[in-house]
């Protein structure tokens, strides 16, 4: 089981949303999505001065895009993830907004993602105001999505990978964890994202729906009922929790030939292909973030274990410079 301290919530959300920014907006902010060009988003440095003389703060994600139409205009999309309730969040959003305008001199679309484990009694704020007895001088608004106020079954028919991954942070009953996991696996398998992106989506979901041993056995039983085509597709998504239980369930519940085939597929797709896919994805992320790939990083990544590569994917999102990221790779 994951403990709260072990989970890098910001890193997980940043990794997911940085891989699928257009899908995120399409799923939760369709009106914004309709007005933006997002084929080649540019991710900007997140360090911002929000209080002179103090340490710089990091915005979670800052994406440069452009509006659609004849008169295209460059815009910034600022996405801030809030996992635990903290006082002064709306004011902090305004500080980021003001700092981004001062730094980049571009209009900003501010978005807050509230991802707490429980629904708060009051809805989260969407504005920050400054008012005096003689009048209001500021009324700043931002967009938001409160994941726990959404119901996972409403997104069940979606072909959107971000919506499916974020079902893990939506509202669901305790006895729905296994059926939700099964439906997630079946639907992600049908989308055909490719190994690297499937792994990001599946790992995110796994982290927040960390099945107990009993739930894992129930999932094994349900997976064993799938037809051969579904089994073949789903096996490509296996992460640690599925590999452990699924190989056992297949061996016990299916014919020897099917169990052998699944075992071989898991060995090829996970033991051999997983690391290669991670290396390719991480190199792609480095190039997208810093514009080039130092040759020494390719050599370093090629000999790294899988868990270290995943750790560096989240470190990359926090690094301000290429040199800072290289130091993280060597530590």
Q: What is the pLDDT of residues 86-137, one digit of tens each?
A: 789 999 999 999 999 998 999 999 999 999 888 877 888 899 999 999 999 9
Q: What whole-number percentage of the chain has pLDDT above 70?
A: 79
Cα separation of 182 and 162, whole Å? Answer: 17
Span 284-307, pLDDT tens digits: 777 767 777 888 888 888 888 777
Q: Report how far residue 64's alpha carbon sits from residue 43's, in angstroms, rounded to the nearest whole number.
A: 6
Beta carbons within 10 angstroms of residue 269's beta carbon: 16
- Report the pLDDT averaged over residues 202-219: 89
Cα Rg of the chain, angstroms: 21
Over the chain, what is the mean pLDDT? 80
Query: For residue 244, what are the CA distances in angstroms to 131, 165, 184, 204, 211?
Result: 58, 21, 18, 18, 12
pTM over 0.75: no
202: exposed, middle or buried (Cβ count in 10 Å: 0-12, 13-18, 19+) = buried
Classified as helix, coil or strand, 37 is: strand
Give the residue-averaged pLDDT of 13-40: 93
Tell me, what's the pLDDT at 57?
66
Candidate from 70-74, 210-214, 308-312 with smallest mean pLDDT: 308-312
Task: Report strand pairing: 36-43 vs 61-67.
Answer: antiparallel
Rounded average pLDDT over 237-252:
45
What is the Cα–Cα distance from 17 to 88, expressed in whole angstroms? 24
């Amino acid at each position: 089981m994951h403990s709260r301290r072990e989970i890098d919530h910001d890193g997980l959300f940043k990794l997911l949303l940085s891989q699928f920014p257009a899908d995120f907006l399409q799923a939760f902010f369709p009106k914004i999505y309709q007005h933006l060009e997002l084929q080649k988003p540019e991710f900007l440095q997140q360090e911002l001065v929000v209080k002179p003389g103090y340490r710089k703060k990091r915005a979670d994600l800052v994406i440069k895009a452009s509006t659609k139409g004849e008169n295209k205009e460059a815009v910034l999309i600022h996405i801030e993830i809030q996992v635990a309730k903290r006082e002064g969040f709306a004011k902090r959003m305004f500080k980021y907004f003001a700092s981004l305008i001062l730094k980049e001199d571009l209009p900003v679309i501010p978005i807050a993602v509230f991802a707490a484990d429980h629904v708060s009694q009051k809805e989260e704020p969407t504005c920050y105001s400054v008012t005096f007895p003689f009048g209001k001088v500021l009324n700043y608004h931002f967009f938001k999505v409160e994941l726990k106020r959404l119901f996972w079954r409403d997104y069940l028919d979606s072909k959107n990978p971000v919506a499916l991954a974020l079902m893990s942070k939506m509202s669901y009953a305790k006895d729905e964890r296994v059926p939700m996991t099964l439906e997630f696996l079946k639907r992600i398998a049908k989308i055909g994202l490719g190994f690297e992106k499937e792994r990001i989506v599946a790992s995110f979901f796994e982290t927040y729906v960390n099945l107990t041993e009993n739930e894992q056995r129930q999932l094994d039983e349900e997976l064993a009922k799938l037809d051969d085509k579904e089994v073949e597709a789903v096996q490509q998504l296996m992460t640690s929790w599925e590999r452990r239980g699924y190989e056992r369930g297949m061996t016990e519940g299916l014919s020897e030939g099917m169990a052998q085939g699944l075992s071989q597929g898991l060995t090829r797709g996970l033991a051999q292909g997983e690391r290669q896919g991670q290396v390719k994805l991480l190199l792609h992320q480095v190039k997208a973030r810093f514009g080039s790939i130092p040759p020494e990083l390719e050599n370093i990544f090629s000999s790294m274990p899988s868990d270290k590569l995943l750790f560096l994917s989240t470190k990359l999102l926090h690094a301000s410079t290429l040199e800072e990221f290289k130091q993280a790779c060597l530590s």
